Amino acid sequence: MKSHLQSYPCPLIINYFWNLGFLLGVAILLQIISGIFLALHYTSDINSAYFSIFFIIREVYYGWCLRYFHSNGSSFVFLFVFLHLGRAMFYGSYFYNPNTWFSGIIIVFFLMGIAFMGYVLPLGQMSLWGVTVITNLLSAFPSLVEWLCGGYCIHNPTFKRFFVFHFLLPFLLCGFLLYHIFSLHFLSSNNPLRNSTNNKIAFLPFIISKDLYGMILISYLYFLQIHFGFSSLSHPDNALEACALLTPLHIVPEWYFLCQYAMLKAVPNKNAGFIVLLTSIFVLFYFMRSLSVSFYFIVWVSSRFNSFFVILWFLVFISLIWIGGQFPVDNFLSYARILTLYYYYFLICILLS
């Protein structure tokens, strides 16, 4: 505890972008705590899951706050994940400590799986059809859909399994979080100058005071979202009870999945779209090898151009999020195909810079 919290040496010149890891850890911890209390009242049966949510909101003491705290907290978790990932790419943290980068991408995979399964549990109209779309992507693998869903369609066994995985995986995630923090503290944090420095200060009280200040500011956003915009980040159709006989006009996932969803819609072939969807995240693992790539190839751009490519990649990422929420008409599909190419192109430019 003393070596990792009190006397842990941190670079003197780090800015508030380095608070995002602490805020992300706090957000994940709050999700786990609120999820445990929600699980005490939730029923994973397909006939009563939708009504158990309304029981939590209306009958449980402060259940409305608990439910919206958990549902909106997932958006804050992914907001911090994207900003934390962008900061690591902008300042070249994958050069400095590849093990920390590897464990971080594993954590991103876990968070995406946990969030997807949690989105299914309220059994709204968009939840049912969202899980139908994603599980149908696995139809290329023999018997995988039947093994995962417990049958040929989304039914009672599917929700029970998703609830069990949604409850257990966050505790497995905590193990990767501890490894992520250990590998980070093994070499100390990166800094804006992107090199090792001997100008260090103690984590307590200097860095922890900045982290707590950022946490106070973020708590204001939490409370504003929970009390005033409690359902603004979710699709209105998800407030309706799921109906297997009524397909929504437009199937839309949560906003943090819209980038990958836009790539999936942009590819006409289902299996090819699924491959593009997976590789858009798997390609981040290759950043651990970027040091050797830059060593064997001619480094034809400087670190200043690296930051420029990261900004362009982030703009493409935001554009894909916007396109993912639009109707799949020809214009938006054409834009999505072009932006998908730029998504990979700018990642390659970052790798070679």
Catalytic residues: 185, 189, 210-211, 254
CA distance 228 to 112: 26
- Which residues on adjacent β-strands are paired with residue 10? 201
**Coil, strand, or helix at residue 4?**
helix
Query: What is the DSSP annotation of 274-294?
Result: HHHHHHHHHGGGGGGGHHHHH
Helical (H) or strand (E) element with 37? helix 20-39
The CA angle 210-214-219, to the nearest 5 degrees, is 145
Q: Please say whether the beta carbons of 235 and 71 come within 8 A.
A: no
Write down how long the chain is: 353
Residue 60 zone, left/alpha/beta (φ > 0; ψ -120 to 50; rest) = beta
The tokens for 311 are 């900004």
